[in-house]
Amino acid sequence: MSYSTFNKNQINPLQEPMFFGNSVNVARYDQQKHSVFEKLIEKQISFFWRPEEVDVSRDRVDFQNLTESEKHIFISNLKYQTLLDSVQGRSPNIALLPIVSIPELETWIETWSFFETIHSRSYTHILRNLFTDPSQVFEDIVINEEIQKRANDISKYYDDLIFYTQLWQTHGEGEIEVDGEVHNVTMRELKKKLFLCINSVNALEAIRFYVSFACTFAFAERDLMEGNSKIIRLIARDENLHLVSTQNILNLWQYGKDDPEMKEIAEELRDEALAIFMKAVEQEKEWAHYLFQHGSMIGLNEEILCQYVEYIANMRMEAIGFDAPFKQRNNPLPWMNKYLVSDNVQVAPQEAEITSYLVGQIDSSVSASDLGDFEL
Amino acid sequence: MSNTFKVRVNGQHELTVDPSEGSSLLEAMEAAGLETRYHCRDGFCGACRTQVKTGTIAYINEPLAIVRPGDCLACCCVPTSDLDIDH
Ligand code: FES
Ligand SMILES: [Fe+2]
Ligand SMILES: [Fe+2]
């Protein structure tokens, strides 16, 4: 079933499933099948920020005074985050736009991916300030074995869905041979790949960032690398929205509020979804081990970071209908929370820590009547 | 006129909450010195997810985070009856 950039059929988007229905034609948002995606778009746009607005110049001095093991921690985390956002800046678009069927979700996906590109741009902003030539850091991302291990698990579900979607779009359902390998393309198989892909993205945004976030904020607790920390706060705030979008998709399927076949698939593949999440937890713990192999940093060590991963994982897994698998119910890093609060309230705008000051949030609830008396 | 409600947390703490004071369920737990779970405090991350065993709540702001049946988001709701919750 080939893709059309403007489906000529009359379709009612209120009757379409989120994915694998008719492709979207008119981009209209006056009515929504799932209004949460429209609200996510509004919220995300209200969070708009530019990396260049954050002054990172003082970080250069701080960085030079870090110990070698702390430098390793700082740079490795930036590499890992660069990888994650490189993937996220393109993959939701490439994998999900060809199969999405409702306009509010289509636009959410584009908005989401766009913000990932802001994240990517902010890493360049940070690294350019620390190094005259940051090439070596970027180049290591495709060489470094620890990062490669993760890259594979992150991209494989996307790649699989993209490949099968391409086969389906060019050949339709049936057995298709490519390079001597036979692929059985059915709608059921496509939907299964979609389900696993969304679970993998959900796990990525739920926990894969949090070891790096913890390190960043641990530096900030010591008044170090504060420019970087301001940027990461903005990224963390965006990531929470992204996470909530995949949690919503998974729950809509599970509760049978969208495609009934996806409800069946959610039940059928429950164990696989769980395994994807648990593997991400394991990899984050291994990442903590890799970071601290040359020594830890003040306020953090491998053990406490692993406890934090478990604490976060419990929270995230309960949100998509799993039981909390870990005993860690208390927050082992209570100071993390203050960096993750979305401070919408303007307290003292001159304080650079206030994220809303940095990004100029706009009150989106202005109505036409508020402007009624204005004349130019 | 103000209506206060009794909120039982994790089967062990008993708080008295006055919703007309404008503080959320999360803030009420914090005021009582309990350790709470939260990130955004703005209804969009789901970190403050709390299980409502008995009782009813109302949202001050409509949350964006997914609320599964039997749960509430403590950062953006107030009790509208006596509550028994797990946080
Ligand atoms: S703290 Fe984020 S939803 Fe309540
Ligand atoms: Fe991102
Ligand atoms: Fe993201």
Q: Please report which confidence band the pLDDT of residue B2 belongs to, taking 50, 70 and 90 as the band edges.
A: low
Residue nearest to ligand 1 atom 3, measured at CA: B43
pLDDT digits (tens, 9 = 90+) for A181-200: 999 999 999 999 999 999 99
Tracing tokens 């999360």 back to the chain, one arrives at B26
Supply B73's token pair.
């988001």
Question: Are A341 and B44 an interchain contact pair (Cβ–Cβ within 8 Å)?
Answer: no
Nearest residue in B to A44, CA atom: B44
Encode pLDDT of B64-87 as tens digits. Answer: 999 999 999 999 999 999 999 999
The predicted pLDDT at position A364 comes to 43
> Residue A13: how many CA atoms within 13 Å on its side-chain side?
22
Answer whether A340's CB lies under 8 Å from B40's CB: yes
With CB atoms and an 8 Å threshold, state whether A237 touches B40.
yes
Cα–Cα distance for residue pair A162/B58, rounded to 1 Å: 42
**What are the tens digits of pLDDT across the range A11-50?**
999 999 999 999 999 999 999 999 999 999 999 999 999 9
Provide the percentage of residues in chain A whose pLDDT is more than 70: 91
Q: What is the pLDDT of residue A150?
A: 87
Total Cβ atoms within 10 A of residue A41: 21
Which residues from B are below 8 Å from A39, CB to CB?
A: 64
pLDDT surpassing 90 at residue A357: no
Number of neighbours of residue A173 by Cβ within 10 angstroms: 15
The C-alpha atoms of residue B16 and residue A168 are separated, in whole angstroms, by: 59
Q: Could you give the CA distance from residue A329 to residue A2 in angstroms, rounded to a whole number?
A: 49
Q: Tens digit of pLDDT for each residue in A156-174?
A: 999 999 999 999 999 999 9
B35 vs A contacts (CB less than 8 Å) = 330-331, 334
Catalytic residue chosen out of the listed positions A3, A29, A80, A123:
A123
Find the B41 Cα to ligand 1 centroid distance in Å.
Answer: 4
The pLDDT tens digits for B10-37 are 999 999 999 888 899 999 999 999 999 9
- Cα B17 to averaged position of ligand 1 atoms, centre (Å): 19
Residue B79 CA to its chain's centroid (Å): 7
For a mutational test of ligand 1's pocket, the pick from B37, B72, B76, i.e. the residue with the most ligand atoms closer than 8 A to its C-beta, is B76
pLDDT higher than threshold 50 for residue A324: yes
- pLDDT category at A360 given cuts 50, 70, 90 is very low
Question: A345 pLDDT exceeds 50?
Answer: no
Inspect the interface and report whether the beta carbons of B64 and A43 lie closer than 8 Å. yes
**Mean pLDDT confidence for A120-127:** 96
Q: Is A330 exposed, middle or buried (0-12, 13-18, 19+ CB in 10 A)?
A: exposed
CA-to-CA separations, A352 to A32, A56, A67, A80, A295, in angstroms, rounded? 38, 12, 27, 26, 31
Contact indicator for A164, A189 with CB cutoff of 8 Å: yes
Q: Hey, which of A358-362, A370-374, B24-28 has the most confident mean pLDDT? A: B24-28
Q: Report the pLDDT averaged over residues A106-128.
A: 97
What confidence category does residue A349 fall into, taking pLDDT thresholds of 50, 70 and 90? very low
pLDDT of residue A18: 98
CA of A138 to the centre of ligand 3 (A): 20
HSE, CB side, 13 Å, CA atoms: give it for residue B10: 8
C-alpha Rg value of chain B to the nearest Å: 12
Q: Which two tokens stand for residue A350?
A: 């001159």
What pTM was estimated for this model as a whole?
0.91
Confidence band, pLDDT 50/70/90 cuts, at residue A151: confident
Active site residue A123: yes
pLDDT band at A350 (very low <50, low <70, confident <90, very high): very low
Cβ-defined contact of B64 to A244 (cutoff 8 Å): yes
